């Protein structure tokens, strides 16, 4: 096994349901120092798993394991931490409860304190849904995280982002083979339709206008859509569990901030870099701008990319990736 698992035991979720055995899976890089003050948390994103994060961690990157102790935590529902696909009845498949962004954050905090004795994080770095976790960390535990970098994500799922996610839901559940989650084999058609949704929304008009699918070896956008994809083995109900977390994300939706979104943003004391991608169609920079305007210690740093939501993902534009890495470096130097 390339990762570790921590069993949190029975956990009561924000929605009031108790999950009997919540296992959180994680991978660490580097060594926790004696002061326990060099820890960085990097949660996964929608559809991501810890191996997807590792590429930007190493001696050549700002996230250098020689300096930092980096904990890559799998979000719940992602197929490695507790998820519909790995949970025993009665919480398997579509019976898996919704975990909120805050549930994820609280349980990650338990992992860090109980397993490692880490009280204060040097930083939380997240992309997309992972960025939502970073914001939530800052708002809920303002004294426990010194810095956050939120890449291509928001502190609250906007109404339009919610609408986009209904496309994702529709794609998966439109497959008759999905059978309300009781499939025997993965609903391949539904998962292929989900890929169409992400190819449509996850890149940008500019990306397609410039014909960047040609750099991927496809003559036309149509060929690009029809490309053969060796999809990593992921589970349809797991995707839906993650959608459930994402679509209601709101750092103020809890007893502490009582739906006062600006107040939750004001609570984020951490030094923050909020980095939307200029062409992101479902986390557009306008939302980030509003969020940063309420945050006392945040910089809006737009990633001027044509790669839409996928900006600075591995295999995309090298300058975008360098910009992200330099920004992580800047943040950690503050």
Residue 114 Cβ, how far from its own copies at the closest point, in Å? 37
Residue 297: both structure tokens together:
């210690």
Residue 303 Cβ, how far from its own copies at the closest point, in Å? 17
Q: Are 96 and 77 in contact (CB under 8 A)?
A: yes
209 binds its own copies per the rule CB under 8 A: yes
Q: Which of 64, 119, 199, 304 binds its own copies (CB under 8 A)?
A: 199
Q: How many CB atoms lie within 10 A of CB 91?
A: 18
Q: How many CB atoms lie within 10 A of CB 14?
A: 16
194 burial (CB, 10 Å; 0-12 / 13-18 / 19+) is buried
Q: Are 79 and 47 in contact (CB under 8 A)?
A: no
197 binds its own copies per the rule CB under 8 A: yes
Active site residue 128: yes
Q: Name the CA radius of gyration of the chain, rounded.
A: 19
281 binds its own copies per the rule CB under 8 A: yes
Would you give the distance in Å from CA 314 to the centre of its chain? 15
Task: Round to whole Å and give the CA distance between 97 and 88.
Answer: 12
The residue among 167 and 256 lying less far from its own copies, judged by its C-beta, is 167
Number of residues that bind its own copies (CB under 8 A): 36
Q: Which of 162, 263, 266, 304 binds its own copies (CB under 8 A)?
A: 162
Active site residue 280: yes
165 burial (CB, 10 Å; 0-12 / 13-18 / 19+) is buried
Q: Which of 24, 39, 101, 171 binds its own copies (CB under 8 A)?
A: 171
* Candidates 204, 288, 309, 317; catalytic one: 309
Residues annotated as catalytic (active site), given as ranges: 128, 280, 309
Q: Which chain residues interact with its own copies by CB under 8 A?
A: 158-160, 162-164, 166-167, 170-171, 174-176, 193, 196-197, 199-200, 203-209, 211, 213, 220-222, 225, 281-282, 284, 286-287
């Amino acid at each position: 096994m390339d990762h570790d698992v921590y069993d949190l035991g029975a956990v009561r979720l924000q929605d009031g349901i108790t999950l009997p055995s919540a296992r959180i899976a994680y991978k660490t890089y580097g060594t926790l120092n004696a002061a326990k003050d060099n820890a960085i948390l990097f949660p996964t994103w929608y559809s991501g798993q810890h191996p997807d994060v590792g590429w930007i961690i190493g001696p050549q990157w700002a996230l250098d394991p020689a300096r930092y102790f980096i904990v890559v935590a799998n979000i719940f529902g992602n197929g490695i931490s507790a998820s519909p696909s790995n949970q025993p009845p009665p919480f398997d498949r579509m019976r898996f409860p919704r975990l909120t962004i805050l549930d994820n954050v609280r349980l990650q905090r338990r992992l860090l304190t109980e397993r490692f004795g880490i009280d204060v994080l040097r930083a939380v770095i997240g992309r997309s849904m992972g960025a939502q976790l970073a914001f939530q960390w800052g708002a809920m535990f303002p004294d426990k995280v010194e810095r956050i970098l939120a890449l291509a994500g928001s502190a609250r799922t906007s109404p339009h982002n919610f609408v986009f996610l209904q496309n994702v839901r529709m794609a998966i559940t439109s497959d008759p083979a999905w059978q309300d989650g009781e499939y025997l084999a993965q609903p391949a058609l539904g998962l292929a339709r989900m890929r169409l949704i992400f190819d449509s929304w996850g890149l940008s008009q500019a990306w397609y206008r410039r014909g960047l699918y040609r750099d991927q070896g496809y003559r036309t956008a149509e060929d690009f859509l029809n490309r053969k994809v060796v999809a990593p083995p992921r589970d349809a109900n797991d995707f839906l569990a993650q959608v459930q977390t994402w679509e209601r994300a709101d750092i103020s939706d809890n007893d502490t901030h009582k739906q006062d979104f600006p107040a939750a943003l004001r609570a984020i004391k951490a030094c923050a870099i909020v980095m939307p991608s200029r062409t992101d169609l479902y986390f557009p920079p306008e939302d980030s701008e509003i969020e940063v305007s309420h945050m006392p210690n945040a910089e809006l740093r737009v990633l001027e990319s044509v790669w839409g939501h996928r900006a600075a993902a591995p295999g995309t534009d090298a300058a975008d990736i360098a910009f992200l890495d330099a920004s992580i470096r800047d943040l950690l130097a503050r």
